[in-house]
Amino acid sequence: MFKKNKIAGVDEVGRGSLAGPVFAAAVILNKNINKKDIRDSKKIPFKKRILIANYIKKNSIYAIGTASVNEINKINILNASLLSMKRALNKLKFKPSVAYIDGLFAPKEIKIKYKTIIKGDEKITSIAAASIVAKASRDLFMIKLSKKYPNYNWHKNFGYGTADHLCGLKKYGITKHHRKKFKPVHNILSPAAHETQ
């Protein structure tokens, strides 16, 4: 059962990553869902996060939106994050009466009421659920991508700037999946650096 006054929680993940798209999720929770394990996705271990994400998806209306590396490079990470949120909201099969959006900013030109909530993933269950669904989806995407690009350990670091990722960047150069305007990647770009296809 879903409430008539449907609330959608919205959150994005991957803003600080050096590689890969940014993912967002919009989630309208079933009112009878067990909320015990739904909290900020960053505080949940990977394997448990995947299980909880699957539980949320079975007991909610949800949609996922992404913004590509090319879009991140072109319009910057903040605007790309907002774009991914807008795409997630637009893909929901039911229009919510209000969207609770994590952070300080909301996507432009969304046609529903909304409220931005700083640290919303720590305060609002539906936002926490969106963060879990988005992060689990992005993590699985990066694990799959890592099979094609094994030199950067994306299956472990999910594209973030860990020591093993930075070591891979210095040794093998950048790929088309790296965000070229992010400082650690930009610093490696030079006539000597090569781009892995």
pLDDT at 8: 97
pLDDT at 195: 54
pLDDT at 2: 53
Positive or negative CA dihedral for 140, 55, 49, 20?
A: positive
**Rounded-to-integer distance, Cα 147 and Cα 166, Å:** 18
**Rounded-to-integer distance, Cα 188 and Cα 171, Å:** 10
Amino acid at 161: G
pLDDT at 192: 46
Q: pLDDT 10s digit of each residue in the chain, 197 long?
A: 555 559 999 999 999 999 999 999 999 999 889 999 998 888 899 999 999 999 999 999 999 999 999 999 999 999 999 999 999 999 999 999 999 999 999 998 898 999 999 999 999 999 999 999 999 999 999 999 999 999 999 999 999 999 999 999 999 999 999 999 898 898 877 544 445 55
**Rounded-to-integer distance, Cα 19 and Cα 37, Å:** 29
Domains for the chain: give ranges and CATH numbers.
7-147 (3.30.420.10), 162-196 (no CATH)
pLDDT at 190: 57
Residue 92 has φ and ψ, to the nearest 5°, of -60, 135
**Rounded-to-integer distance, Cα 120 and Cα 109, Å:** 21
pLDDT at 40: 84
